[in-house]
Amino acid sequence: MRPRVEESKKRLFQTNIRLSISEREFAKEEAAKIPCSVPNWIRRAAFNKARIIVKHSGIDRDTYRQLCSAGNNLNQLTKRINNQQFPKIFNELQELKKLLVEIHKQILK
């Protein structure tokens, strides 16, 4: 069962607004950067004094995930190197290098 929302936090009123095509597209793009829904982005933009922080600037979400994955692989390989497992990881380092080159190309597009 869902927990009850405090009375002071309940959203009891709905306001409808009209947007031009360009305004709607802008709102969609900005909401996708955070990521959140368009209504939540508009609510944050209207009522938060602090600026809305974009989690990853201008990098495609899939590219960002690949970069995180490559970082995790690099950490694992570094741990193996520190455990004296050099011959086993040479091929993995070559694969990681290829992946990082591909991600670099995607970022520079």
Label residue 98 by pLDDT band (50, 70, 90): confident
Radius of gyration of the chain (CA): 22
55 CB-contact burial (10 Å; exposed 0-12 / middle 13-18 / buried 19+) = exposed
Q: Express each pLDDT in 57-80 by its tens digit.
A: 566 777 778 888 888 888 887 787
Range picked from 38-47, 77-86, 89-98 for highest mean pLDDT: 38-47
Query: In 3-state terms, what secondary structure has residue 99?
Result: helix
The pLDDT assigned to 51 comes to: 60
Report the C-alpha gap between 40 and 72 in whole angstroms.
32
Mean pLDDT, range 20-48, rounded to an integer: 90
First to last CA, the chain: 47
Angle at 65 between CA 61 and CA 71, to 5 degrees: 145
